[in-house]
Amino acid sequence: MAESGLDSLTKTREVAIEWKAYELRPGGKFPGTPEQEARYRAMVRERHGQMTAYAREHFGLEMGEPPLGVNSRPALEGERYAREHGKGAEYHHACFVAHWREERRLDDMDMLTSIARSLGLNGDEFREAVTSGKYHEEVEADLQLAYEYGINGVPAFIFGNRYLVSGARPAEFLEQVVDKCVEEGLVE
């Protein structure tokens, strides 16, 4: 898989990345009526070609058609376990590939456990940690932070605790934001 703008940015600038949890559709549920959901799903299918063409052209990313109505909470809590065991970035990347390229559901505990095992993590411990709600409060804190920043889509980036960049952006754009943060003394 090719690089995102963020991946490219890490090669040109010394930046610290801290992944935060965000639920685009909490619980995987659409917040409207069945009719509104049907219209939304039709719009997503219609725009999918544009989105994949943009990802291919600007980032070299090949994307599938991921399932809608996915409860991402298990994957988000699983990331906390992986992070705690030094595999957070690898887990995040594997979940990205599973969902966006392989069209897999991020609420499938067997699939998530398989990802954890593939990274050398203890699958039984992983499953227990996720299903027990061990990381529930940490994920909730991230969701509250996203609410406070006004985030309502993915991807979203916060630079220097001041600038919110919403949407997939090329590395050059992200570099400009980092340079502005350095110029303003927000980061070193």
Using one digit for the tens of pLDDT, what is the confidence trace for 124-159? 999 999 999 999 999 999 999 999 999 988 889 999
**What pLDDT score was predicted for residue 104?**
95
| pTM for the model | 0.82
Q: Kindly report the number of other CB atoms within 10 A of residue 23's CB atom.
A: 17
pLDDT-based confidence at 2, cuts 50/70/90?
Answer: very low
Burial class, 122, CB count within 10 angstroms (exposed 0-12 / middle 13-18 / buried 19+): middle
Lowest mean pLDDT among 47-61, 113-127, 172-186: 47-61
pLDDT-based confidence at 61, cuts 50/70/90?
Answer: confident
What CATH number labels 5-151?
A: 3.40.30.10
What is the percentage of the chain residues whose pLDDT exceeds 70?
98
Q: Output the CA–CA distances (angstroms, integers) from residue 167 to 87, 122, 125, 135, in the order listed.
A: 25, 34, 34, 27
More confidently predicted of 30 and 88 = 88
Question: Mean pLDDT of all residues in the chain?
Answer: 90
pLDDT-based confidence at 3, cuts 50/70/90?
Answer: low
